[in-house]
Chain A
Amino acid sequence: EDQVTQSPEALRLQEGESSSLNCSYTVSGLRGLFWYRQDPGKGPEFLFTLYSAGEEKEKERLKATLTKKESFLHITAPKPEDSATYLCAGRMNDYKLSFGAGTTVTVRA
């Protein structure tokens, strides 16, 4: 069964304290691993798509990496505005995304 699992469920960081979020997947024939950011009361906002093992993408303090079984979202020197829920999703076919439950990140000043 296709499955996407995120850990930890919640992460509390001090401003400037770097950390990583994990997304493991068992999606057969994965056609892309997606990362989204979701703020309270808003829809998910697209961050990255990774297609093949070894691929990396960066945006400001965020860097996403992909292996054959998991993806990591690294947050370097986070700021309070990085507080959000981060969702990863595996794409199973041409259109269907299977989302993980998310990791809620809280960054304290």
Chain B
Amino acid sequence: DAGVIQSPRHEVTEMGQEVTLRCKPISGHNSLFWYRQTMMRGLELLIYFNNNVPIDDSGMPEDRFSAKMPNASFSTLKIQPSEPRDSAVYFCASSPSGRLYNEQFFGPGTRLTVL
């Protein structure tokens, strides 16, 4: 099993530019999560999808952030326009369905730097 795949691993962009982060969850996992990790705030849940449907986006910081899951094997997190305070490591995680309490499997993350 390849695990959760994220791309790119590193992204450096200038303020105002659009940034798209990509995620391929583990095959067969029905739940997908996007997290952001910073020194100040730790690991925070941004959005949760179940069976490709957004269930909880209460963690999305503002309208500049959007996420999609067009099919079971692909999701994107987009920031438009990007700002320096968006600099962080963004993780995608997935978990299987069928059990009530499922551990989440994290990808390697995308380190985003907005100049």
**A-B pairs with CB below 8 Å: how many?**
48
Chain B residues in the interface with A (C-beta under 8 A):
4, 31, 33, 42-45, 48, 50, 55-56, 91, 93, 95, 100-101, 103-109
Residue count of chain A within 8 Å CB distance of chain B: 23
A89–B45 Cα distance when bound, in Å, is 12
**Chain A positions within 8 Å of B42 at CB level:** 99-102
Chain B at the A interface: SS class: strand
**Chain A positions within 8 Å of B43 at CB level:** 44, 87, 89, 99
- Chain B residue nearest to A96 in the complex (CB): B45
**Chain B positions within 8 Å of A34 at CB level:** 103
A60–B4 Cα distance when bound, in Å, is 25
Asked if B104 and A42 sit within 8 Å, CB to CB, the answer is: no
